[in-house]
Amino acid sequence: MDALGAHLLLELKECDAELLDDLPYVREILTRAVVEAGATIVGDTFHKFEPLGVTGIIAIAESHIGVHTWPEYSYAAADIFTCGESLRPYRAAELIIQGLRCGDPSITEIKRGMVVPRAVAAGLR
């Protein structure tokens, strides 16, 4: 079976709290991750919460990259959902982890859209 995409879930503990609350910086890190991973930006939206926190998503032709931050806990949750072969999602994850100065990252990969090729499904092997 083939997957249509990969979805990386990033648990980012022990991040730099000041960076997590800096919307322009968070936007810059996500944008750099998208570009260096080889994706194509089609739009984005970011929001600064009061008193703390940032959320943002970059829509890419290959799907999306998003982040939600909790500076008071030095924690961020990010996800990188990709389809296609050209994007390097682990490169994007590495750049986000480094950019947020994360001391305790973990990555879980989920295969999305597990499909059976049509010929196999039709019994035409």
**Which DSSP helix (H) or strand (E) runs through 31?**
helix 23-37
State the 10-residue block means of pLDDT for the chain, 125 residues long.
84 98 98 94 97 97 95 98 85 97 97 69 56
Could you give the CA distance from residue 60 to residue 36 in angstroms, rounded to a whole number? 13
Quick check: is 47 catalytic?
A: no
CATH number assigned to the domain comprising residue 45: 3.60.90.10
Could you give the CA distance from residue 29 to residue 31 in angstroms, rounded to a whole number? 5
The confidence score (pLDDT) of residue 1 equals: 47
The confidence score (pLDDT) of residue 86 equals: 74
Strands 104-112 and 41-48: unpaired
The confidence score (pLDDT) of residue 78 equals: 98
Split into its structural domains, the chain has a count of 1
> How many angstroms separate the Cα of 79 from the Cα of each of 7, 50, 59, 74, 120?
7, 23, 12, 17, 32
Quick check: is 7 catalytic?
A: no
Could you give the CA distance from residue 78 to residue 68 in angstroms, rounded to a whole number? 6
Q: Provide the domain limits for residue 113.
A: 5-121
Quick check: is 106 catalytic?
A: no
| DSSP per-residue letters across 63-83 | EEEEEEEEGGGTEEEEEEEEE
The confidence score (pLDDT) of residue 124 equals: 57
Selecting among 7, 15, 63, 74, the annotated active-site residue is 63
Selecting among 7, 68, 74, 102, the annotated active-site residue is 68
Query: Is 77:106 a contact under the CB 8 Å cutoff?
Result: no
> How many angstroms separate the Cα of 59 from the Cα of each of 36, 45, 62, 82, 103?
15, 9, 8, 10, 27
